[in-house]
Amino acid sequence: MASLQHGPAAGRPFLVRLKTLLLSGTAMLFAQGALGQTADEGEIIDLEAIYVHGASVLGDVGEIVAGYTATGTKTAAEIIDIPAQVSVVTKAEMDSRAPDNLMQALSYTSSVSVDEYGSDNRYDYYRIRGFLQTSSGTYRDGLPLRTFNFTGGKIEPYSVQRIEILKGSTSTLFGMNGPGGLVNVITKRPQEMAFGETYLTFGDHHGEVGVDFGAPLDAQSEWTYRITGKVQNSDQSNRYQEDDRLYLAAALSWNPTEATSLTLLANYYDLDGNTGNSIPVGSTAGLDTFFGEPSFNDMDRLEKGVGYEFSHDFGNGLTFRQNARQSNIEMLYEQVYLDGSSPTGRYAYLMNGEIDRLAVDTQLEYESIFGNVESRTLVGLEYTDDDLSEVTQFGTAGAIDPNNPVYCGLGCIAVAPYTDTQMTQKSHGLYLQEELTFDDAWILTLGGRYDRVKTAVEGGSGTNSQSAFTKRLGLTWKASDDLALYANYSESFDPLAAGYVPLLGTAAKPQEGRQYEIGAKYRPEGSDSLISLALFDLSQTNVPRYENLAYWQIGQIDVKGAELEGRMAVNDRLNLNFAWSFWDAEIVGGPDAGHRPQLTPEQQASIWAEYTLAGDGPLAGLRLGGGGRLLGSRFADDANSVKLGSAVVFDAMASYPLNDSTEIAVNVSNLFDRSYVSSLSFDQSSVFYGDGRTVKATLRHRW
């Protein structure tokens, strides 16, 4: 395994930036004390402090249905009250389906499309409502995890306790993002009670072991901690496709009073992976044949991060919150891939990348009552600072027989310097949100945010400054305790990625989007269920398109669609999850006007059910689960010259309790080993196939 190599230094050193982060938090702590001492009571009726604990908002609810979210409005809110669609993948659902990556965790969620590149899992590829959100749509604990060019991180599923998907334009709260939506993963945090688990998983060329435990450090549970770790050694579709991981995380919480909390979070993630593998069109070789070069085949990451979450409720309706994280990603990418212009030719590509990122989100929330009107006001200031260093080399590799490949080693690879990107991007966002509830029946949500983004590329196009004011208007009508109807209008703002700036120069415009949406949410009284329906109309302008050997911002994409989703704990033994999505997507403007955007399916659907046997017999407690996913047909390119057929893939699981604290489980992905095409290479000379069948057995012990 090649070691990580660094390009030229990018930005401030990690420790210096960490010091800045900690000092900013200390200053805020002193400021909060002064604010609490000077707060005056007005004539407005102040609400008593309402504490919605982490178990209901961010924590493990213990079931497949979540009732609250902190992502939809950046406040603790019931999902049924929010004028937007929010899906939550709970820890219980992840424990049942045992996803190996973020894409698998999202695969049973409405209006989320995954599996675009099949067994190629270099990144967390996903679309929301037809828009690719891989680069800008992933968040951890409400803070961004953007990918620049080739340099970006991945999510370890075992590190999170729930995943929240906010659909539609989100820039009025979260700033830079596409119109499809975002995925916010919630890191595991300490709990008030002692707990723990350890597990061992084996499969075909796969082994992993993990541990997750925590407890109070004192009798009053004022101090609590949590430690999470995982080691994995795995091969993917063939012996040259490894997926080795080492994940370590620690969390420490301090809760001196019910109104004040501070949580410190730290993580270390070492991933040794490989690049994607495609099969030449017309090749007689098997689907597990590797056409790269084993000695030049790395996709290695080293991710480190520290951060904190602080909140204080002053008891007069005013709450202060600040979330911050300092992170660093080092990345090595080495690949030999097929040259579409020649049946035996190959190219070679090498990239060393590093990102230093500081993200801070500071909020003030004020709740009050004016007669029959409840008011909740949120004011926030967000700051991000990204420093990117990315150096690439490009060249050729020796020829290979597409039907009987023989590898030639490092001696047949010749690369030369290609690009050297040194970029900084700083963003400031100021946002305001007002939620007004009338007679406990009508909820009006108003929001606005001003963002200013400054991107500087050394030796390239200089500095590019972009700004935008985005708006959100939503209305929810709670027709009954069970049913809510809503409508919303929202906007998005997404500056172009660093790779486009040198090509388009200072003329680069941000991508802008807007969304109209209506929907309904049904939560039957006395039932742990949530069913939602939405109709939406989205549009994004200034989309870059590649034409005549250059990028031009002549593109626009429109998506009109519908989605239906249900998560239901039917009774103590039966859980059901179903989803359906329809996207009418169209390119507007440019040479491909009127066509469907590439890899955007028209329809997709899924259903998952699991049943636990009751009684006192030897099979009592046996849990059986299974589901199917429809991957809709789609076009391989914007020209719509090649259509990829639809496919139905089935998954299954079974678990059995050996005693009150130990269980054994088996998970099967792609149960019938369905072979299907996920996508083609950009020149349509090679094919990416979906993952074949995988079988894993897990022994888990909890205490």
**How many residues in total does the chain contain?**
703
Tokens, residue 34: 């002064």
| Distance, CA of 94 to chain centre | 14
pLDDT band at 682 (very low <50, low <70, confident <90, very high): confident
Q: Which two tokens stand for residue 329?
A: 């990603």
Strand spans (E) along 439-573: 442-457, 462-478, 483-494, 511-522, 528-547, 550-569
Q: Is 259 exposed, middle or buried (0-12, 13-18, 19+ CB in 10 A)?
A: middle
- Whether residue 93 has pLDDT greater than 70: yes
Say which residue, 17 or 594, is predicted with more confidence.
Answer: 594
Residue-wise over 29-63: b if at least 16 C-beta within 10 A, else e?
A: eeebeeebeeeeeeeeebbeeeeeebeebbbbbee
Least confidently predicted of 204-213, 234-243, 254-263, 661-670: 234-243
AA letter at 701: H
Residue 392 has pLDDT above 50, yes or no: yes
Coil, strand or helix at 350: strand
15 CB contacts (<8 Å, ≥6 apart)? none
Quote the CA–CA distance of 33 and 440 in Å, as a whole number.
Answer: 34
Per-residue buried b or exposed e for 427-460, using 16+ beta carbons within 10 Å of the residue's own CB: bbbebebebebeeeeebebbbbbebebebbbeeb
Could you tell me which residue, 141 or 340, shows the higher pLDDT? 141
The average pLDDT across 171-176 equals: 96
Whole-number pLDDT of residue 568:
95
Nearest Cα residue to 85 out of 484, 448, 512, 626: 484
Work out the widest C-alpha separation in the chain, in whole angstroms.
82
How would residue 425 be classed by pLDDT, with cut points 50, 70 and 90? very high
For 71-92, write each residue's pLDDT tens digit: 999 999 999 999 999 999 999 9
On the question of pLDDT at 428 being above 90, the answer is: yes
Residue 410 dihedral angles phi and psi, to the nearest 5° = -65, -25
Domains defined along the chain, listed by start: 14-702 (2.40.170.20)
- pLDDT average, residue stretch 232-245: 82
Model confidence at 25: pLDDT above 80: no
CB 324 within 8 A of CB 17: no
Residue 45 to residues 279, 367, 378, 398, 437: CA-CA distances in angstroms?
Answer: 68, 9, 18, 76, 15
CA distances from 352 to 329, 391, 422, 455, 547 (A): 11, 5, 12, 21, 28
Is the per-residue pLDDT at 534 higher than 90? Answer: yes
Window from 36-40, 120-124, 548-552 with minimum mean pLDDT: 36-40
Strand extents, DSSP E, 110-242: 112-113, 127-128, 131-132, 138-140, 143-144, 160-167, 181-187, 195-203, 206-216, 223-234
Burial group, residue 487, by CB count within 10 angstroms (0-12, 13-18, 19+):
middle
Q: Which band of pLDDT confidence, cut at 50, 70 and 90, is reported for residue 47?
A: very low
**In this structure, what are the phi and psi dihedrals at residue 461, rounded to the nearest 5 degrees?**
-90, 5
- Distance from C-alpha of 82 to C-alpha of 582, rounded to nearest angstrom: 22
Cα radius of gyration (the chain)? 25
Average pLDDT in the 11-16 region? Answer: 42
**Residue 32 reports pLDDT greater than 70:** no
| CA–CA distance, 371 with 114 (Å, rounded to integer) | 48
Strands 138-140 and 181-187: parallel
Cβ atoms of 73 and 81 within 8 Å: the answer is no
* Residues 41, 48: Cα–Cα separation, whole Å: 13
Coil, strand, or helix at residue 157?
A: helix
3-state secondary structure 33-64: HHHHHHCCCCCCEECCCCCCCHHHHCCCCCCC
Over residues 8-21, mean pLDDT: 41
Distances (CA, A) of 394 to 330, 339, 347: 20, 13, 8
Q: Reduce the DSSP state of residue 172 to 3 states and report it.
A: helix
Higher pLDDT residue, 13 or 701? Answer: 701
At 408, the amino acid letter reads C
Report whether 456 contacts 423 (CB < 8 A).
yes
Residue 196 has a pLDDT of 97
342 CB neighbour count, 10 Å cutoff: 11
**520 closest CA partner among 507, 506, 530:** 530
Reported as a single tens digit per residue, the pLDDT across 112-164 is 999 888 777 789 999 999 999 998 999 999 999 999 889 999 999 999 999 99
For residue 496, name the pLDDT band (cuts at 50, 70, 90).
confident
**Of 318, 337, 437, which Cα lies nearest the Cα of 49?**
318
CA–CA distances in Å: residue 602 to residues 136, 361, 392, 645: 23, 37, 37, 11
Q: Which residue has the higher pLDDT, 389 or 19?
A: 389
Confidence of residue 463 (pLDDT cuts 50, 70, 90): confident
Which range, of 117-121, 327-331, 452-456, averages the lowest pLDDT? Answer: 117-121
**What is the mean pLDDT of the segment spanning 32-61?**
43
Residue 503 host element (H or E): helix 501-504
Which pLDDT band holds residue 46 (cuts at 50, 70, 90)?
very low
Q: For residue range 598-625, what is the model confidence (pLDDT) as tens digits?
A: 999 999 999 999 999 998 899 999 999 9
Please determine, for residue 22, whether its predicted confidence score (pLDDT) is greater than 50: no
- Please give the mean pLDDT across all residues of the chain: 88
Averaged pLDDT for residues 493-519: 75
pLDDT at 495 over 80: yes
Q: What is the DSSP string of 249-295?
A: EEEEEEEEETTEEEEEEEEEEEEEE-----EETT--S-TT---S-GG
Give the percent of the chain with pLDDT over 70: 88
Give yes or no for residue 19 having a pLDDT over 60: no
- For residue 225, list its beta bridge partners: 215, 252
Per-residue pLDDT reduced to its tens digit, 375-391 = 999 999 999 999 999 99
pLDDT for the residue numbered 274: 84
| Dist. CA 135–CA 146, nearest whole Å | 5
Q: What is the pLDDT, as a whole number, of residue 366?
A: 98
**pLDDT above 70: residue 189:** yes
Cα dist from 234 to 203, 206, 241, 248, whole Å: 9, 4, 8, 18
Sheet holding 112-113, edge to edge: 112-113, 127-128, 131-132
Whole-number pLDDT of residue 448: 98
